[in-house]
Structure 1
Amino acid sequence: MAATTREGKHHNPNLVEMEKLLTAWLEDQNQRNVPVSLGVIQEKARQLYEAVAQKKKGEGSGSEPFVASRGWINRFRVRASLHNLKLQGEAASADKEAAQEFPSCLAGIIKDGGYTADQVFNVDKTGLFWKRVPSRTYISKEEETAPGHKVSKERLTLLLGSNASGDFKLKLLLVYLAGKSKGT
């Protein structure tokens, strides 16, 4: 009868060693408050497998190719008792009542002022958090929560705008770091 453990089966010893290293790396990332995505885990698995295979190459061990497929990652998640956890971040709040009242209020201002669609502009900003870490991470099932982490606030801000008739678009304004005013 075949054994049911990974070590008991005739599996690639490089894979067994890589999974042990990967589990230790995941625990280290969690201790450092670094969230990891599925893609990051797969890439790290490929790197670790290659390192283990290179190390054992000198020992005469043949190396099978490893691609960190979806099937492998799903089986590894079960073996390592990993689960996906949504990280808690800053809560966003909006004034829903004001948002519901605003369209009729704006329509009244436009009508009372006698403005045309060429004179009414809509301007909005958007941000690209280019150093953003994933909002989910993988932790072992024994752990209930992931430690908090400081969210990077570095972003590029774009200001976009055009008039209501759509025939005039404002030039894009890009802001990387806003200047800080000094207190007087």
Structure 2
Amino acid sequence: MSLEPEKKKRKTVSIQEKLDALDEIEKKKKTSTEIARQLGVGHSTVCGWKKDEKLLNMQRELIHAVQANNMKRLRQVDNPLVDKATWQWFKEQKKSGAQLSGPIIKSQAIFFWQNLGLSKSFDASDGWLSKWKNRHHIKNIISCEDSDIVTEYHNKFDEIIKSRGLTPDQVFNADETGINFRQMPKKNLYTQDEVGATGAKGKNERITVMACSNASGTIKPPLIVIGKYAKPRAIKNLQHLPVSYKHQKSAWMSNDIFTNWFYYEFVPFISKELEKKNLPTKAILFTDDYGTNGQNLKSGDIEVIYLPQNMTSILQPMEQGCLQNLKTIYRKILLEFVVKELTANKCLAEILKSITIREAVFWLARSWNMVTTSTITTSWKSLWPEIQTIKSLSETEVPEVDFNNTTDIVKEFQLALKNDDENNVNEKAINTWLNCPTVQNLNECLSPHEIIENLKN
């Protein structure tokens, strides 16, 4: 019989658990000793987590939240800024419908390394690409019809909804898109390089818009509109805006913006709306990880659940028609305004210059109000195939408006520009621009230089 003392079993804690523990120390004022006792680890171990907190956050940001929950050891990623920039660029390009190959991704990664001013050497090898794809769960293009991965998530989604007893009124989705609010149809499409080199996008014209709705289409919080400036001259004196206006240097969604919106706007708004419907104040917001590093966002029985990375274009309801419909309506309103001004003998350049963020936010709010419950419910079918059979029928449907009937305004626009060879566009180009076949086009994507600027700041 051995007299050797039994070795103490090593306790492993995931990256997510470590960061949650550090949150408890900061927000709930727990001591390191209490956390150590709670998790069954040594006091010095928790002190080590505090020392490595920045590295833990960076690592979690580079991997999907689900993967972080299972990852135990901290592995440093070489050139993390290149990794992050390439991932942001990849997501922007996929929203525009771009087809991206391995060589294109590697070429873009090299561009980021060269322009981020990094001293550490970088080789965009096949090995790097393979690891990068694994970190971000990027696989071959999959379709909703034959993907086992999609089916697996459908089952998980159903389990979440049923276990919590949620109705379509209590299940939400939020997603963002870039909008160039002065953009008109062009004779030729820009490539991403042309946009960056020529400035064709317009320096201050791109804003980010995030739309959110429940699956029944009956609760639609005001749009979030993100511009580059805190107090744009055109709206700084307005007492009330029909949207929630935020600002960020590159006009994109950040961790702080999303987190503050969730706690201080989303939760209070839907709590009141659910109370009006005599429903329990519990809900889930399914969404992308907007730089939140997979952090647990929860208030009472209202929480955020992140959709699987690189599957949002397949599963994200807002990307299945809602955002496209929002843009179609907005562009029709914009076109009607331009035609009206052209008939008053104003030139196109003068008209576009007169359109400010003020017009944009009011037109966007009006457009969002005109997106029907039918459009929203249909868009949920990719994530919730049974939605239309279980949808709450307690609300009266808003009559559907045929926004595809744009023949008259297209002809009026062409007629108004018939003598303007530079700006006159054929009917096919105008209809393609109006009908928004993708969530955003290349003009509305963040350029590589804008991504770099944001990461440097």
Name the TM-score, length of structure 1 as normaliser: 0.39
Bigger strand share: 1
User: Relative CO higher for 1 or 2, CA cutoff 8 Å, sep ≥ 6?
Assistant: 1
Higher helix share: 2
